[in-house]
Amino acid sequence: MKIGIGNDHAGVEMKHEIIEFLESMGHQVVNYGTDEKASCDYPVYGEKVARAVAAGEVDKGILICGTGVGISLAANKVHGIRAVVCSEPATARLSRLHNDANVLAFGARIVGMELAKMIVETWLNTEFEGGRHQRRVDLIMDVENR
């Protein structure tokens, strides 16, 4: 899978480890995030990754900031994006099964490295269930058209 990854200053170290982890699983990674620890603005990177996902340049997006919250809020402003903040694998799994989430966010100040890897692996390896969930996802996306 081709994955776009983005982060602010709070997520630099975790981002690099996650990139290595993704590549070790055979994924191709495009880095849209900052590699500097100087304070920067997370919406910039949330939007970059979200636009790449919406345009089909990458299959899915992963975002890391301090909490995962701000960067996911920015990503969700882009049409076609369903970004979720996950701090444990159960939500990550259900966000794929039921919500067909196309962007995953988490907080480098909230989850440890091993938990972050479990969240990423679970999220990437879970397929959307479709069926009744498709109707609900369609209803979510309809909100963007009104």
Tell me the catalytic residues: 65, 98
Strand partners, 2: 28
Which of 15-23, 59-67, 87-95, 124-132 is the region at the interface with ligand RB5 (rule: CB under 6 A)?
A: 59-67
Which 74-133 positions form the footprint of ligand RB5 (CB under 6 A)?
none
Among the listed residues 3, 10, 22, 81, the single contact to ligand RB5 using CB under 6 A: 10
What are the C-alpha distances in Å from 11 to residues 1, 24, 82, 101, 136? 22, 20, 21, 21, 32
Among the listed residues 34, 67, 102, 122, the single contact to ligand RB5 using CB under 6 A: 67
φ/ψ of residue 14, rounded to 5: -65, -40
Q: What secondary structure does DSSP assign to 70-131, as a single string?
A: HHHHHHTTSTT--EEE-SSHHHHHHHHHTT---EEEEETTTS-HHHHHHHHHHHHT-----T
Among the listed residues 65, 85, 86, 111, the single contact to ligand RB5 using CB under 6 A: 65
Closer to ligand RB5 by CB, 27 or 78: give it: 78
Q: Does 43 bind ligand RB5 (CB under 6 A)?
A: no
Q: Does 45 bind ligand RB5 (CB under 6 A)?
A: no
Closer to ligand RB5 by CB, 37 or 136: give it: 37
